[in-house]
Structure 1
Amino acid sequence: MTRRVRPAEAISLLTAGNLAIWVAGGARFALGSWLALKLTGEPAAPVWLLLAELTPTLCLAPVFGLLIDRLDRRRLAFCVDVVRALAAAGVAVAAAAGGLDFWMLVGLATVMGAGDQLSTPSRTALVRQLSSEGRLLSANARISVTTQLGSMTGVAAGGVAADGVPAAVAFAAIAACYLLSACLLLAVRTGSRAAAAQPVAVGGSVLAGLRTVTGYVRAAGGWSSPFLVVVVLAAFIKTYNSLLPAFSHEVMHFGSAQFGALDAAYAVGGLAAGLALVRLTAARSGAGSEMLQRRAHVGLLVLAVLTGAFAFSGGFGTALALYCGIGTAFQTLTVYMVACQTLVPLGVYGRVFSGFNFVGTVLVLVLYGTVAAALHVVSPALIYLLLAAVLACLGIVQARAAVANGGTRVPAPVGRPTSERPTSGEMTP
């Protein structure tokens, strides 16, 4: 007789699987970027890998959303992990045979990008299905910690493997990480919390996805919507990282070791904040989660202040401390992400979050292009100041919304599909 896996144990299994996925993803990113440069001799080669990874989201986001909502999410995530493992194993075989080339890396990046867009919403939906409302922030905090830890470990391992380990061995290890995640998913049981897809009015085209995005933003408060905050913060994280090399070299005149230390300080700050979130939200009563959600706007304002101060850093020690603080403050994203999760019915979860992923990807590409063009004209410090100003405006809008709602940041539900039974906090546009 198979022992029933309790929700808390299932969350632990998902958390462990998330760690394995991010170790694999970080290692593949670092190793793939290095091999792309080595195989082509072109400095822009890693950029092509990035574009290949983003292409599935831009082209197939509506399809991904429909698949996530219409298929069993646990089985879908399992199949995605198996496919990613097979893709990495295929590259490992090619490397062992001496036939590895740049276009294989491009193909692998495309497969991994598609896998991420199917796996991440499926897994976050599973976390929500398995967590009570009072424990959802705690579960997401644990996922965030393993994301930070896995990414740090994976990038470091990929960097080491680029010089000291045969590519075949490195890609085989990446495949093993995805297989481990797939095996852990086999033990997860969603039980009675699982929700079947509902025939609600969310379409499967790009235009329908955009209408869904704007509908949720309007329904959740317009400019004070947590959805808007999540999209902006997720895009800004990538923008901060893309600005850091130029800021370190041109403004602060740091060397490669100091740049690496700044990058590590951000990750350490994020990891420390994630661990603190786990501790603060550990109580079953959910009191810690409620307090953090009521005060989430403070995190935005702190992030804005730290970013502005970082732009005027006077030395390495100051810059290191401020960038560590920025990594800590960016964990505000986890709190806002939970607010979004509770507002979306599980029956349309995949389509809604795929729509927001599409918008976020477009925003990242626009920001990348804008920053690349602006760096020829203005100082990276000025761009950091502009980002700080945007964050300050977001924080002020969120603070005013919290006051207007009597201290409750998340707006009240404003309607739902007739085919789905109401649950606490859910809303539809």
Structure 2
Amino acid sequence: MEDSIMEESEQKLETEVAPALIAIHPAQKSVSVSVGSDLRVFNLQDGTGFKLVDENGGHKDSIRAIRYSKSGHLFVSAGDDKLVKIWDTNSWRCIYSVVSEKRVTSIAISNDEMFVCFADKFGVVYVVEIGDYHCENPALVIKKAVPILSHYCSIITRLEFSPDGQHIVTADRDFKIRVTIFPKNPLDGAHEIQSFCLGHTEFVSCLAFVNSQDYAQGYLISGSGDSTVRLWDYASGSLLDTCEVGAKAELLHSNGKEEEILPAITDLYATSDGLLVAAAIQSLSGIMLLRCDLSARTLSVAKVISVPGETFIPTSIGAASSVPLLWMVMGASSLHNNNSTLLVRVRVISGFTATSSKSIEHETSILEDREVPGGESLLEILQGKLSIGGEAFSTAAEAVKTAMRNLLIKKQYSAERREVRKKGRNDKKNQIVE
């Protein structure tokens, strides 16, 4: 009985808090924010919020991943309700709904927008063929997903397609990054592994690609619970450089037991020219900008941008490919106002470009709320109608940090505890059989 209560408590810790997420249309036509099961979309072209049309009534549990397609014509959301929803961004109607066997942890959209891939908590990656959705009946279509690869029961934390669309990269809780050749017929499975990128000492939390005209294939960058950002030649799996961002931001501290607490990298985003990378880090109020030298294949800290006057620790970041603005969001599914509305905070950094070292140093700054594209109307739609104090956001940041570590740091059990857990699982199986 005691073991059962402990397992239920562990599961509750893993699921009770979900971070707020942000995604930006590639041409900055709209901004989307999710928090809990809420999906909020603001139209920057006419200054109003989009009304989402979904015959099934939207998500029923926390959203864990949101993303625009390369052209911005499609948007995908997925999460703990085991649903993957594919939206047409012209009408913001849910055109496809996919049922997953397990909770969804990450999503990716192929560069040609023909396929959506998603990963679940058991380490399986599925693919869904989209086809020509303009020809579909306006009624909601239920799509069938097909498994294409697996990480053998390790939670997959992030999916990304390479810039040329030839590879799909998957990262997991067990420190691994796998580069798989994306086949011409993915519904038949993805069986050819290109490489493994191995070197992180904690869970891999985020991935991004840096590329330019001179380096079209690009390189891979990864962030981790080990408080480092690493640069990889993903075709060979070679580690090119490591940037100890937690140490450089002076965020490392001891827990009193001769152990260092490593703040995880929660999100990464690179400029379109691949020269500048933004890193959101747990415990850092603001953002760290890294300079990426593609010719020298190195990473270095360019600047730390702090948010003045408030505690703002981003849970997700994003940008449009052609606009030098970095959008950041902070919030959690446990943060409510008196009306039980889920609240978030949105901030924007200007000058997110790396045309020169001088521009990084002098032209990047935090925009005031009145200077944010969309102004008060956007903030009211995306943040919630009421403001909230910095102390509550600080509490939310700690809750997200705890939930992330509970979910992604692999639990260590004694031999005796492992046997008890195994016996409990076997007892449950026997009850089902009987």
Larger RCO of the pair (alpha carbons < 8 Å, separation 6+): 1
**Structure with greater strand share of residues:** 2
**Structure with greater helix share of residues:** 1
Q: TM-score, length-normalised on structure 1? A: 0.29
Q: TM-score, length-normalised on structure 2? A: 0.29
